[in-house]
Chains A and B, each alone.
Chain A
Amino acid sequence: MNDIIIKLLWTLLGLFIVLNWGMLMGASMRKIVARVAHRRGIPIYQPWLDLIKLYAKRTSISHGVMFYLGPVFRLGGGVGIFLFLPLIYGSEYWSNFSWAGDLVLILYFQFFGMLGMALGAGEGGHPNSVIGITRGLSQFTTVEIPLTLAVISLALQYNTLSITEIVAAQQGGVQNWTLFTNPVATVAGMLSLLGALRHAPFNLVKAPNEVPIGPPTEYHSAFLGVLRTNGAVLHVVEAALFMNLFFGGATNWAEFIIKTFLIYFWSVFVGVVHPRFRIEQSVVWFLKIPLAIGVLAVILYI
């Protein structure tokens, strides 16, 4: 019994770290983007203020049960990936519940939050939410293709679908990272990441000047707080997933923080220098060069 409680406490601690790191990372990215645009940007503690404000709001309205459950699904999606993802290589406690399922579980668990949130937002009854969702789902179909091919390539390379084993195989120096042992798959994966993190040019889903923030339009107060919480967690764990797959994983928190920051920065970096795609453009874009690279990544390992 003690074991389980200790395990849970460690997991909660991990979640706490990831959440705060996510907010800090988000804030710094926003600051970077602002500086690029010659603005001062937000204070670095802004996300915490936002979160406290949202959770403390006294007025809140609900459109129904599914509306209520939407944010729960969404945060469940983010936290779920966190739970099934080994964070720090070599640490029993920081590998969370990754023994319950492998990479495939995580790939499909991404949809848990997406689908639930989509349904919740749908019950909100706002057409802009639905427009945003249809765009998000559409875009996501092709975003997944290069990643799928990259994953197949990795599975062939390492002969496993276990994330822990993939990380293990990359230990012993930078030269063992997938980045260097399988650069083609890494490129495919990183291109896919651009779509998954939805920065420009793939940010039509939430396009503020078209469909005011898209899916969460009707969400506010604690609902929005939960969604923001998820945003912070999800960005870190997605970056951590790519870190594990392509960049040798992390053996301690410092390495974890640096690597996830750089991986996340990659999408911000691309975002600030590119205009936004229309949805049919982004859908097709992933079916061109990223798809070709993904195919190449598999061919190299047949």
Chain B
Amino acid sequence: MVGPIYIIAIALGLAFLLGFFKKLNANIAQTFMMAGVGAMSFISVQWLFGHLAGMVTETVTYTAGFKPPFSISLQMGAMEAGVTSMINIFGFLGGVYLWRKLKEMGLNAIIIYMVTLMGLNVIVLTRDLFNLFVFLEVSTIGIVGLILLERGVNTISSGFKYLVAGGVISSFMLIGTIMIYKYAGSLYINDIITSNIAATKGGMVALFLLLIAVILELKPFPANGWALDVYESANSGISAFLSAGFATAMLFVLYKLMPMFPIEWQAMVAVVGGITFIGANLLGIRQKNAQRLLGYSSAGQMGLLTAVIGLSSYLNEQFIFILVTILLGHYLAKAGLFWLAGIVKEKEINSWSLLRREPLLVVLFGVFILTLLGMPPFPSFFGKWELIMKLAAGGQTTWILAILIGSFLEAVYLFKWFGYVLKGENEGLPVLQIKPEKIISPVVFATVSVMAGYYAGSLLGETNFAFYIPLMFIAAIGLLEFLPAFVKNTFAIAGMGYLAYTTLPGLFETDLLRFIFMGIFILGGILTLFAGYYYKGKRQGFYPSALIMFAGLAGIIQAETLLQFFFSWELMTIGSYFLIIRGKRSMTHGFSYMLFSLAGAYAILAAFGMVDAQVGNMLSALGGVTSHATLIFALLAIGFMTKTATLGLHIWLPGAHAEAESDVSPMVSAILLKAGVFGLLLTFFGMGAESAGNSSILYVLGWLGAITALVGNLAASFQEDAKRLLAYSSIGQLGYILFAYAMATQLGWIGGFLYVINHFAFKAILFLTIGAVVLRVKTHNMYEMGGLIKRMPLAFIAALIGIIALSGVPPLSGFAGKWFFYNAVILKGWYFQGAVVFFAGVIAFLYSYRILQTVFLGQLKDEHRHVKEIPLTFLIPIYILVIGIMIFSMYTHWVLEPITQYLTAYFPSDPVHWDGAAATTSLGYWNGTWVMYIIGIMFVLILGWLLWLNAKATKVKQFNMVFSGERPFTPETTHMAHNMYAGYNKALGFITAPGITTFWNKVAEFVTDAAGFIRRIYTGNGQTYAFHIVAYIVIIYFMIF
């Protein structure tokens, strides 16, 4: 092993040597620098691997042959090795990134770069307090030097402010250090820890000054304006240095010094961190400047990590894991994002749509954003998970809430930004110039992030290799992006087929519930992917996104532990977000989808934490929960209801589904919504309805489902946009499903399963059909269509079957749902909720008729006289589903009888009796097959009779009609489509007034206004910032003592 002292020696030596060769060719100087930094990295990394492999133990190097306290000692433990590796690797890649910039700035900059890096290394390694102070000064001045060498007006002023603030902080630190020396008689950290100087009042103050200085260096909210200005105005490479390098080192200092401080202070440290995490992220919401935004995020992340250090006593053996993974996430993401900021060169985040011109950059951006947020499969996901689990185990509910709120606020601005990148207007923006040296470093960091994610997951021992197979498959598809869409489509379908082959037979044997949902996910996936053959070109980004979603969906079915479930749940959310936001006008819809989904996911996470604390991490152990069962039940329900778009949490759905691409709408509607249903079922199955708390929540959910059905259906009836109509219809249908399951009786659940299967089939048919029609006629507005039955009869027939199945008219499968509902409602005693649901069911006829009439019937528009039938690639999956619905309607008992048996395990009373196709309950009876026969025969007879009477009817055009002696003008004025239910709207339209949307808008407005108000403390004035620091110290002082 090369001793750690050489890290310093190399840096220092090179810095001095380079100084001698003033005239040296800049290229050679830089090569020397890179070689030096490379060597430093090598030393740290070899120590790191040594520690990981268990080959070395914690090693202390003594300088100048003396033992401490008479000399400075450098400690190279596992943590030090890790942190210096991070710093040095960053130094190396940052050097690559800054290659041109450093050359431009000259030899001095190169020297300062080396010295700063060395300073950071020493800060980490040293065990001497004064030494720490000195090198902190060295690195601060070094950073300021790098900032100032840029020579912009803003950079100079911000650099100066940084210097002022740094000066104030270090003076406190120095005073603290001096006082500690007085009381402890040593500057050796290990001595100070053992000397217990906190017992004396002066020693306490000394420690306080030291601690507060370290905390201030971590830029706590609100005393961090000075740092934000620097992040904003410095060169992005330098900002990255500040955020990834300097902050990492400072955090380690806090970690290192923590044992010196009284144990009671941990709470204060945690609170300071928590406030920073929430405060900084709150203010980030209003931020439009990319680098300043990253500054806020950086402060926020440091806040979170500070809080983690403060909370270490709750985290026990997982403390280091949590700290390292979150730190790593911050380090990789922040460096990467700052680097990207340098490539984009646009200040405003809404100009980052520029990134889209280079798909690789979008991928990198995505990886960094997700890493930062702690989404799977990145390392901080596992860190945050463990953090929440451990806090829950310690009963720290407030802390869980605080961390989730902070994370949510962070997600708000990060996904707003992401939205701009993916969907923002990029016309008229300058050309993106990517220099090779600038792209290498972000690519390396993104790769490291993915690998670190895998490593972190396997450290937890939960996500094994099998969990990553789908992800590797997706990555492979991602690498094949250059291939045409149909090739990738074939691969994707083959992948789904393989998934079906490996999972479905097993599930059929073991678990019918999972089999049904898996069947819907896979079958739906294959059918909707098939429609994708329509699309020409490469269809960039579509396949990885879709497959991530499907991998997530399959994952939640297969998950056995809470972590696996949550991992897959988040994966699905990410994939579906990318899919949804692909729509033309989907930026805001994708954004609101993500926010609701994340809020829901956090509710689930909190609930899982409480579950894990009580009964361990198995999903099947949900039923064993004893304390807070009602709260957990409610949190899970709320979390899953964000996906089922229950009223109140639904406002993302109409836009997201309506604006999505033609084959994406059915994916996110017919298939994705079922994930929420599956989650609800897991909760209901797992936790049961027996307890008073759960049953009263179910009672509320029942009403909620009924009202959702009513409002969703009513709103659907008033839409002018065909896809929006279907989207609102989904809200209504999911309302039925929620209602059915909330009944928690066998009949209710049979009805629920029936609706789940039925809704999958007919909504896929309808969305595929209407989506394909939209592709042909190029509009969503129904009043701009009409008479299309003549041009696309096959589409009409499919839509007709879909609508009949939806509306519940016998003999198709929808009626079975109604029948079970009537029986279930009356036996359960939910008469009024039931009446609302049946009312909603009748309202469904309004939109059912509207979509068929205004799209396919009535007058054909002139411009559609030559429009073609919908594409074959859509027709094939549509008709497979149509046949499926017909069979399901005819032989409903083939599916429902096994479900009945399956449910008997949960509801032993067995209120429904099957005899072939005949179902009997204590109330009524119904024989689906016979109803089908009777109606079929009758229909054929009447049709035959009419044909016999009227075979020779002359065929005429739509326009040839009786019109009170007048001739109608144009098809447009003769097609009754716009504002179709005017009278009904007058009577009941008030119910659909967008009260909930207004409510959420007000909430969002309030939060952003609050952020805007608080933001005013950052005046941009250096004196104010210095005052903030002093005031902060005083306030914290009085809070502690």
* Residue positions of A touching B, CB distance < 8 A: 55, 59-66, 68-69, 71-73, 75-76, 79-80, 83-84, 97, 99-105, 108-109, 111-112, 114-115, 118-119, 122-127, 130-131, 133-135, 137-138, 140-142, 144-145, 148-149, 152, 155-156, 159-162, 212, 217-218, 221-223, 225-226, 278-281, 283-284, 294-295, 298, 302
From B389-397, B649-657, B977-985, give the one contacting chain A. Answer: B977-985
Residue B306 interfacial (CB < 8 Å): no
Chain A positions within 8 Å of B959 at CB level: 125
A130 touches B853 (CB 8 A): yes
Q: Can you give 29 contacting A-B residue pairs, CB < 8 Å?
A: A55-B949, A61-B960, A62-B954, A63-B955, A63-B956, A68-B953, A72-B939, A83-B934, A97-B930, A99-B925, A104-B823, A108-B815, A111-B808, A118-B853, A122-B852, A123-B858, A125-B858, A126-B961, A133-B849, A138-B983, A141-B842, A141-B846, A145-B839, A148-B835, A152-B834, A161-B822, A226-B946, A283-B988, A298-B835
* Residue positions of B touching A, CB distance < 8 A: 787, 789-790, 793, 796, 800, 804, 807-810, 815, 818-819, 822-823, 825-826, 829, 831-832, 834-835, 838-839, 842-843, 845-846, 848-849, 852-853, 857-859, 922-927, 930-931, 934-935, 938-939, 942-943, 946, 949-950, 952-964, 974-976, 980-981, 983-984, 986-988
Closest CB in chain A relative to B706 CB, distance in Å: 13
Q: Identify the closest chain B residue to A125 (Cβ).
A: B958
Measured in the bound complex, the distance between the Cα atoms of B938 and A149 in whole Å is 31
Measured in the bound complex, the distance between the Cα atoms of B957 and A126 in whole Å is 12
Closest CB in chain A relative to B135 CB, distance in Å: 77
Contact A127 B946, CB 8 Å, known A141-B846, A148-B839: no
A76 touches B935 (CB 8 A): yes
Measured in the bound complex, the distance between the Cα atoms of B957 and A138 in whole Å is 29
Chain A positions within 8 Å of B983 at CB level: 134-135, 138, 278-280, 283
Q: What DSSP secondary structure best describes chain A's contact surface?
A: helix
Q: Identify the closest chain A residue to B804 (Cβ).
A: A115
Chain A positions within 8 Å of B925 at CB level: 99, 101-102, 162
* Residue in A55, A100, A131, A161 whose CB lies within 8 Å of B927: A100
Chain A positions within 8 Å of B858 at CB level: 122-123, 125, 127, 130
A159 touches B922 (CB 8 A): yes
A105 touches B810 (CB 8 A): yes
Closest CB in chain B relative to A286 CB, distance in Å: 10
Measured in the bound complex, the distance between the Cα atoms of B980 and A195 in whole Å is 21
A115 touches B815 (CB 8 A): no
Contact A61 B846, CB 8 Å, known A76-B935, A119-B853, A152-B834: no
A127 touches B938 (CB 8 A): no
A222 touches B946 (CB 8 A): yes
Measured in the bound complex, the distance between the Cα atoms of B989 and A237 in whole Å is 34
A141 touches B923 (CB 8 A): no
B923 touches A161 (CB 8 A): yes
Chain B positions within 8 Å of A160 at CB level: 923-924
Measured in the bound complex, the distance between the Cα atoms of B920 and A161 in whole Å is 11
Q: What DSSP secondary structure best describes chain B's contact surface?
A: helix
B849 touches A115 (CB 8 A): yes
Chain A positions within 8 Å of B838 at CB level: 144-145, 148
* Residue in A108, A122, A148, A225 whose CB lies within 8 Å of B810: A108
* Residue in A76, A105, A125, A159 whose CB lies within 8 Å of B815: A105
Chain A positions within 8 Å of B931 at CB level: 84, 100-101, 105
A71 touches B980 (CB 8 A): no
Contact A104 B924, CB 8 Å, known A111-B807, A111-B845: yes
* Residue in A99, A127, A137, A162 whose CB lies within 8 Å of B849: A137
Measured in the bound complex, the distance between the Cα atoms of B679 and A260 in whole Å is 51
Most chain B beta-carbon contacts within 10 A, residue among A55, A76, A83, A103: A76
Give the 6 A-B CB pairs with smallest separation, nearest first: A161-B924, A279-B983, A122-B857, A125-B958, A102-B924, A130-B976
Chain A positions within 8 Å of B842 at CB level: 140-141, 144
A104 touches B819 (CB 8 A): yes
Closest CB in chain B relative to A130 CB, distance in Å: 4
Contact A62 B946, CB 8 Å, known A101-B927, A141-B842, A283-B983: no
* Residue in A119, A125, A159 whose CB lies within 8 Å of B787: A125
Measured in the bound complex, the distance between the Cα atoms of B687 and A34 in whole Å is 67
Chain B positions within 8 Å of A71 at CB level: 946
Q: Identify the closest chain A residue to B786 (Cβ).
A: A125
Chain B positions within 8 Å of A76 at CB level: 935, 938-939, 942
* Residue in B939, B961, B974 whose CB lies within 8 Å of A218: B961
List 14 extra interface pairs beyond A104-B822, A160-B924, CB under 8 A. A65-B789, A65-B793, A80-B934, A104-B819, A105-B810, A119-B853, A125-B859, A145-B835, A148-B839, A152-B835, A155-B826, A156-B826, A156-B831, A161-B826
B946 touches A302 (CB 8 A): no
Chain B positions within 8 Å of A141 at CB level: 839, 842-843, 845-846, 984
Closest CB in chain A relative to B275 CB, distance in Å: 52
Q: Identify the closest chain A residue to B839 (Cβ).
A: A145
A104 touches B809 (CB 8 A): no
A283 touches B987 (CB 8 A): yes
Measured in the bound complex, the distance between the Cα atoms of B983 and A75 in whole Å is 28
Chain A positions within 8 Å of B810 at CB level: 80, 101, 105, 108-109, 112
B962 touches A127 (CB 8 A): no
B859 touches A72 (CB 8 A): no
* Residue in B809, B826, B852 whose CB lies within 8 Å of A152: B826
A144 touches B839 (CB 8 A): yes
Contact A60 B954, CB 8 Å, known A101-B926, A112-B810, A283-B987: yes
Measured in the bound complex, the distance between the Cα atoms of B846 and A144 in whole Å is 14
A62 touches B987 (CB 8 A): no
A280 touches B984 (CB 8 A): yes
Closest CB in chain B relative to A275 CB, distance in Å: 17
Chain A positions within 8 Å of B845 at CB level: 111, 114-115, 137, 140-141
